[in-house]
Copies of this chain bind each other. A is one copy, B any other.
Amino acid sequence: MKKLLLLTAAPLLLAAQASEPNATPQTPSDVIAASTAEDWRPVAPNNLLIMTLGSGDEVFIELAAIFAPVHVTNIRNLARAGWYDGISINRVQDNYVVQWGDASERKPLPETVDRSSPAEYDFAMTESHIAGFEDVQEGNYEPFSGYLEGWPVAHAPREDGQRSGTLIHCYGMVGVGRGNNPDTGTGAELYTVIGHAPRHLDRNIALVGRIVEGIGALSSLPRGTGPLGFYEEAEQRVPIATIQLASELPKEEQPSFEVMRTDSDAFRAFVHARANRTGWFIRPAGAVDVCNVNLPIRRAAAD
C-alpha cells in the first residue's frame, strides 16, 4: 500500500454532511467546495505581474498596492518600460529566498521610477483595517497575526496609541531588496520567500506582493553556492525573458485569479478546518500558524 502523508477521507465526510445539511464543512477542500462567488475577490489586472523565465515557465505575482503604494507604482512603471526584460535570477538560498534583478548593476532605471521611495515597511491600522482584520495566531513575534484584505498581516500597538500593521514574510511573499539606510529599494531588485517564514525581516524591508501561481519554477532552481546563495558564475544565472503587467495585455489574454475573501465566513471555516484536520489525522493541532493557513487562491472561471 502506498504510504501517503495525507489520506483524505472526503467521501466519508461528504456522506456525514449529507445527513447534517447545516454542519460546518469538515475539511479545507470541503470549505472551498461549499464557498460561493461572494467569498472570493478578483486579482485586479494592474496588480498582476506575469514573469516569464527564459525556459518559458510562468510565475504570477499579485501586487499589494494597498500596503506599499509607492513601491508598487515603481514596479508597474518598470514593467511598463520593459525594464525587467532580460534581467536574471541571481540568488537562490535554500530555506530562505530567490532574488532577481540586473546582475550588471548598470542598467539605467526609467525616469518614471521614484528613487527615494519611503520605507513602506509598515502602515497605520485604520478603524476599517481593525474591523477587517481576521486574527489567526496570537503571541508569536507580534501580538496579533492574521489576515487583512486577503494578505497576511501582523499588528502591534505603537507609542502614539495607534496600531502599526505589517505584511508578513510567509512562503511565496515578494519583497523589494534594499541596501543600508536610507536606501529602501526601488523595486528593480525583487525576492520571494522559499522556506520557513523569515519573520525577522518583517518591518525591516518592503513586502509588495505574493506569488499566486508558478512558485515551483523558482523554488526548484539550483541553490547558489556563493555567500548568501548568490550564483558564483554568470552562466548559472537564470534568464528572465519578460515581466509584464496583466493590465497591459489585450483583455482576452489577461490571466484571471481569485483570492478567498479573508473577512468571510468561508475563510473562518477554512482556518478552522486547517487547524482541525480530520481523516488521516489522529490528533488535530487545534491551531494553525498564520503562514500555514495556505489561503485559497485559484484561477477564475472563464466568463
Tell me if B199 and A170 are in contact (CB < 8 A): no
Inside 8 A of A219's CB, which chain B residues have their CB?
94-95, 219-220, 223
Contact between chains at B179 and A3 (CB < 8 Å): yes
A171 on the interface (CB 8 Å rule)?
yes
Known: A140-B140, A220-B223. A5 touches B205 (CB 8 A): yes
A200 touches B288 (CB 8 A): yes
Q: Does A277 contact B (CB under 8 A)?
A: yes
Asked if A107 CB lies within 8 Å of chain B CBs, one says no
Complex CA gap A209/B181 in Å reads 41
Q: Does A297 have its Cβ within 8 Å of any Cβ on chain B? A: no
Residue-wise interface mask of A (278-295) relative to B, using a CB-CB cutoff of 8 A (1 in contact, 0 not): 001111110111011000
Q: Min CB distance, A21 to chain B, in Å?
A: 28
Q: Mark A69-109, 1 if CB is under 8 A from B, else 0.
A: 00000000000000000000000101101010100010000
B-contact bits for A242-283, CB 8 A (1 contact / 0 none): 000000000000000000000000000000001101001111
Report if A4-B141 is in contact (Cβ < 8 Å); known contacts: A216-B223, A289-B196.
no
- The reply on A172 being an interface residue by CB < 8 A is yes
**CB atoms of B1 and A292 under 8 A apart:** no
Q: How far is the CB of A88 from chain B (nearest CB, A)?
A: 13
Spell out A's residues near B (CB within 8 Å). 1-7, 92, 94-95, 97, 99, 101, 105, 121, 137-141, 170-172, 177-181, 183, 185, 189, 191, 195-205, 215-216, 219-223, 228, 274-275, 277, 280-285, 287-289, 291-292
Q: 9 nearest interchain CB pairs? A: A3-B177, A216-B223, A3-B189, A140-B140, A200-B285, A139-B139, A203-B283, A94-B216, A171-B196
